[in-house]
Amino acid sequence: MFKVCLTTFLILAIMSFNSAASWPGHKTSDVNSYRIYPKNGNFWVSKKQKLVIDTVPAGKKIILDTLLRNISDTATVSDSLRDVKSNDTLPYRLSKNALVAPVEFSTEDSMVLDIPGRSATVYGKESNLLYKDNDVKAPVIVYDMNTGDISASLVKDSTGKVIERPSYKSGDMTTESDSFRFNMKTGKGLTKGTYTQQGEMYVYGESIKKVDNEVLFAYKGRFTTCNLDTPHFAFAFTKTKFINDKMALTGPIHPEVEGVPIPIYLPFGIYPLAQGRHSGLLAPSFVTNEQRGLGLEGLGYYKVLGEYWDFILQTSIYSYGGWSLSVNPRYSKRYRYNGSFLLNIQHFNFNFKGDPDFGTNRSFNIQWVHSTDAKSRPGVTFSGNVNAGSSSYNSYVPNNPMLNISNMMSSSIRYSKTWKGTPFNLTVAANHQQNTNLKQITLDLPTINFSMSTIYPFRKKERAGESKWYENIGFGYNMDTRSTATFYDTVKTKSIFQQIRDTVRWGARHRIPISLSLPPLGFFQVSPSVSYDETWFQVKSIHYYNPTGDTLLTRLEKGLYTARNMSFGLGASTRIFGMLMAKKKDARIIGIRHEIRPTVTASYQPDFQKRNYYFLTDSLGRKTRYAYYESRYNLNSLYSPGEFGGLNFSIENNISMKVRSRKDTGEAAIKKISIIDAFSITGSYNFLQDSFRFQPISMSASSNLFNKVSLTGFASFNLYEVNDSGRPVNRLIWKRKPISLGRLTSASLTLSSSFQGGNKKTGEEPGLKPNGYRPESGYSLDEFNQELAYINAHPGEYADFNIPWSLNFSYSLSLNRQFLMNYGFKSTVSQNLNLGGTVNLTPKWQLGLQTYYNISDGTLNPMTLSLSRDLHCWQMSVSVSSGMYRYFSINISPKAPILRDLRVNKTESFRRL
C-alpha cells in the first residue's frame, strides 16, 4: 500500500516520452502515460522508448579560475524596481482552479498517470481516494484534474458477477453504487444504482443527485427498513428529496411486498429521519372492544418544549360514546433531576344506550415521578413517586389484565438532608396507601425523622497517648414523628379535608442510646449500653362501668401525653469458624466454611409503666387491666407492663464453599459460592417474670443458591403448651417432648428465580438474569416503569428469538396455626405461584406464557398466552388472556422504531361483569 499526493504531478510534469504502451487488463494509455508499481517503485516504459545516455563522465572536481580580474565597473545603472517592497508572502502563486486540500490515493495494485491529460486512474480492490471529508473506495477510480471530477465504477468477473461496488462517504452520508461521479470543487455529484442508509431507513435509487452535503434528490427508487437486497417490503417512489438527518419528502408513493407493487397509492409522503426528539403526531391503533365498541386508541401529539421538557397528549375514542384523555409532561436535566407527570381521565360507556347491560364509569388517575441526582446537591436528596386516583380506575384500563386485578395504589414523597461536618440528619416523607376494593385511603402527612449519629463528647480533639475508657462513651439521638388519616372515598357528606381533620392521628417517639466501646476481652467483644425512650400520645382512653356494673363505657380525652421507658444492657459476642477441606488436591469442591456469630445480651428494664395501666372490677368481681393509651386511638403502642431482667440471645450463621471451575485455570478457576447467606435464631428469657419466662423463638433464613435461586423463610415457635380452651399454660413443651423446637405458630417461605437458555449470538451461558432499573440504561425511572408495564401486558411484541427458552417463577407459602374450641389447632395455609416463560418452537416461532395460580383454592387467574413469529424486518404476535379481563389481540408491526405506528392491530376485550 502506498500513497501519492498531488505533488507527484509536479515531479512528473517535467518528463516527456513519445511511445505508446498497452496495459494488460486496462485500457491502452497514450504516449505520455506512465504506470507506477507500488512494489518496486519503478516507472515502466515501452520497448520503443529510446534512452539517451551521456557517455562523458562528469568531473569529480570543480576547477576554479586562478586569474584575478580587477575590473571595476564605473557605470551606474538605475533600477527602478530596486526599492519596491514586495507584499507577496508566498514563495509561489496558486492557480485559481487549484484545490484547497491535497488528494491522497492508496491502492494495492497500480495507478496510471496521464500528465498532458491531467488525469489519474487507480486500479485495485482496495483502492481509495481521500479529499477533505470525501472518502471514495472502488476497484477503479478516475480523477480528472481539469474539471475536478472523480468517477468510480464497479468491476465484474468473467461470469458477470459483481466483484465489488464503489462506495462514497461524505460527512455522515455513506452510499454504495454501480457508478458515480462527483466534483471536488462544488461538492455536487450523480450516482447510478445507489444504496444508502438514512438513520434506520435503507434507500435505493436508480439515480441520485447530490446538491450539497445536506440535500439529495433521488429518481425511481424505494426505501425500507429491511436490509436485504430484495426487501420484504418497501415504499416505491418516482421522485424524492432527502434532507440529511431530518426528513424525506416524496411525490406519489405506493408499497411493495417482495417486489410486487400493492395498488395503494398516496399522493405524497413525509418521513422523519431525525435522530433524537422531534415533535409530531402520534398515530392511533384501531381496536374492537365488546363493552366499548369500535375505537381508536393512542391518537395524540408529541411536542418538544425545549432542551429539558417535552409533552405528550393522547386520547382514545369509542363508538359507544366513551373516551379517555392522557396528559403527560416530562422533564429531565442531566446530572440534576428528571421526572414526569401523568394525568389520565376515563369516561367509558359499556354497551350502547338502551341495552339492559348499559353502564357508565368515570375515573381518573394521577402519577408523578421525580428524582434528583445525588451529585447535584451533596447532602440533599428529593424523590417522589405518586400514584393515586379513583378506586375504579385500575379495573377499567383496557388490555392490561395485571393492572385490572391490582387493588392497591401507593405514593411516597421523600426529602432528606445531611449537614456536612455535623452528625445531624433529617428526613421528611409523605406516604399514601389506597385500597381500591375497600375504597379506603390512608395518608401519612408527614413522617419526620431527625437523628444524630453517635458522638463521643469526652474525646480530646488532639489525642496523646492511650485513650481513657470514658472517652469511648458515645451518645446518639433519634426522633420519629408521624401523623396519619384514614378515610373512605365513598363518603359524600364530608369533603376529603373534613375527613382528614376528623380522622387524623399523630404521635412521636424519642430515643437516646448511650454506648461504651471496650477493647476485646480475649475472643469476646463486650459492649455495655443504656437506652432511654419516650413516646408521645394524642388520646387518653378511660374505661369505666355504669352504676349497675354491667356495661363498660369509654371516655376519650385529647391532649399531649407521654410515657417513658429505660433499659440497661451488657452484650457479648464472638465469631466461630469451622472449615471442612477436601482431601484430594484436584477435588471440585475445595472446602466448605461455616461461620457462627453468637450474641448474648443481659438486660434489665425497670417497670416505669405502673402509672400507665389501671384495673377495673366488674359486677362479678373479675379484675381486668386496661391501658390509658391504647393503640386503636393512638399511632404508637404503649410499652409492656412489668420489669424485665433476663437474657436476649441470637445465633447467626452463614455457610459458603469454594469450588474449582472445570473450564478456567489459575486463580480465576476458584470461585466462592454462598450456600446460606444468613440463618438466625433469636429469643429471650425473663428471670423476673413469675411465669412464661421464655419468649417465642424466631427463626429466619435467606439464600441465593448458586446465584440462581432466591430463597427466604421465617418461622415462629411457642415453647409453652395450651389447655383444652386454647389458653397457654405455664408448662414447657420440652417436658413432654424433649427433642422439639416448640409449637409452630406461623411460618412463611418465598422462592423465586429466573433462567434462560444460552444466547445463540453471544454464546452466553444459561443462568439467572436479574431484572431491574439501571440508571446507565439511559431511561428515566418513569420511562422504565411505563415501558416495563407495557412489555408485561404485551409480551408477544417483545419476543427475543436469540434466547431459545426462558423461565421465571415465584412461589410463596404462608402458614398460620390457631386453636379453635372443640376442634384443636387449625392450620391455615396459603400458596401462590407466579409462572412465566418462553420457548422457541422453531428458530422463527416463540411461545410465551404468563400466569398466576392460587394453589390453596385451585384458581388460575389470569393467564396470558402469546405466540410470536419473527418475520425478519417485521414481527407478528398473537395474545390471548383468560379470566375476568379476557381479551384477544393480534399485532403485526415492523421492528424498526421509526415505523412503529405502521402496525396492524386487532384487539377484542371481553369483561365478565
Inter-residue contact 210 to 182 (CB < 8 Å): yes
Q: Which residues contact 803 (CB under 8 A, 6 or more apart)?
A: 756, 757, 759, 760, 838, 840
- What is the four-CA torsion angle of 433, 434, 440, 444, rounded to 10 degrees? 20
| Mean per-residue pLDDT, 547-555 | 85
DSSP state of 496: H
Q: pLDDT band at residue 402, thresholds of 50, 70 and 90?
A: low
Percent pLDDT > 70 in the chain is 81
The pLDDT of residue 19 is above 70: no
Residue 392 CA to residue 402 CA, distance in Å, equals: 15
| H or E stretch covering 502 | helix 496-503
Inter-residue contact 390 to 363 (CB < 8 Å): yes
Cell numbers describing residue 572:
457479648
Inter-residue contact 413 to 388 (CB < 8 Å): no
Residue 586 CA to residue 588 CA, distance in Å, equals: 6
- What is the four-CA torsion angle of 131, 134, 137, 138, rounded to 10 degrees? -90
> Is-cis flag, bond preceding 862, omega within 30?
yes
Nearest to 2 by CA among 110, 88, 155: 110
Q: pLDDT band at residue 43, thresholds of 50, 70 and 90?
A: very low
The pLDDT of residue 1 is above 50: no
Residue 346 CA to residue 877 CA, distance in Å, equals: 28
| H or E stretch covering 8 | helix 7-12
Inter-residue contact 220 to 254 (CB < 8 Å): no
The CA-to-CA distance between both ends of the chain, in Å, stands at 78
**Range in 325-334, 541-550, 588-597 with the lowest mean pLDDT:** 541-550
How is the chain split among helix, strand and coil, in percent rounded to 5? 5, 55, 40
DSSP state of 469: G
Q: 563: exposed, middle or buried (C-beta count within 10 Å: 0-12, 13-18, 19+)?
A: buried
The chain-wide mean pLDDT, for the chain, equals 80
Cell numbers describing residue 720:
409453652
User: Cα dist. 674→79, 658, 661, 710, 749 in Å?
Assistant: 100, 9, 15, 12, 19
pLDDT at 586: 79
| Mean per-residue pLDDT, 318-334 | 92
- What is the four-CA torsion angle of 370, 372, 377, 382, rounded to 10 degrees? 40
| H or E stretch covering 783 | helix 781-793
The pLDDT of residue 50 is above 60: no
Give 404's Cβ-side CA count (13 Å radius).
Answer: 22
Residue 509 CA to residue 524 CA, distance in Å, equals: 33
Cell numbers describing residue 164:
465489488
Q: Which residues contact 452 (CB under 8 A, 6 or more apart)?
A: 423, 424, 425, 475, 476, 477, 478
Sign of CA dihedral 761, 762, 765, 770: negative
| H or E stretch covering 555 | strand 552-573
Q: pLDDT band at residue 86, thresholds of 50, 70 and 90?
A: very low
According to DSSP, the β-strands at 110-114 and 119-123 are antiparallel
| 3-state secondary structure labels for all residues of 84-134 | CCCCCCCCCCCCCCCCCCCCEEEECCEEEEECCCCEEEEECCCCEEEECCE
pLDDT at 619: 80
pLDDT at 97: 64
* Interior/surface letters 365-391, b for 16+ CB within 10 angstroms, e for the rest: bbbbbbbbeeeeeeeebbbbbbbbbbb
Q: 605: exposed, middle or buried (C-beta count within 10 Å: 0-12, 13-18, 19+)?
A: buried
pLDDT at 40: 38
List, in sequence order, every beta strand (DSSP E) within 661-727: 670-686, 697-705, 709-718, 720-722
Nearest to 455 by CA among 507, 371, 517: 517
Q: Which has more pLDDT, 159 or 80? A: 159
Cell numbers describing residue 470:
470514658
pLDDT at 370: 93
pLDDT at 426: 96
The pLDDT of residue 168 is above 60: yes
The pLDDT of residue 714 is above 90: yes
Nearest to 619 by CA among 555, 547, 553, 554: 547
SS3 (DSSP) at 258: coil
| H or E stretch covering 877 | strand 874-881
Q: Which has more pLDDT, 74 or 98? A: 98
The pLDDT of residue 199 is above 50: yes
According to DSSP, the β-strands at 623-627 and 613-617 are antiparallel
At the topology level of CATH, where does 1-47+99-169 sit?
lipopolysaccharide transport protein A fold (2.60.450)
The pLDDT of residue 298 is above 90: no
Total residue count of the chain as it appears in this document: 913
Phi, psi for residue 783 in degrees, rounded to 5: -65, -40
| Full DSSP string of 810-876 | EEEEEEEEEEETTTEEEEEEEEEEEEEEEEEEETTEEEEEEEEEETTTTEEEEEEEEEEEEETTEEE
pLDDT at 651: 95
CB neighbourhood size of 437 (10 A): 9
The pLDDT of residue 780 is above 80: no
- Averaging pLDDT over each range in 137-141, 286-290, 326-330, 665-669, which range is the top one? 326-330
pLDDT in tens, 819-858: 766 666 778 889 999 888 899 999 889 999 888 888 888 8
| Mean per-residue pLDDT, 427-433 | 94
pTM for this prediction: 0.64
**Range in 186-200, 398-412, 546-560, 673-687 with the lowest mean pLDDT:** 398-412
pLDDT at 518: 86
According to DSSP, the β-strands at 904-911 and 285-289 are parallel
DSSP state of 759: P
Residue 779 CA to residue 787 CA, distance in Å, equals: 10
Q: pLDDT band at residue 419, thresholds of 50, 70 and 90?
A: very high
pLDDT at 114: 86
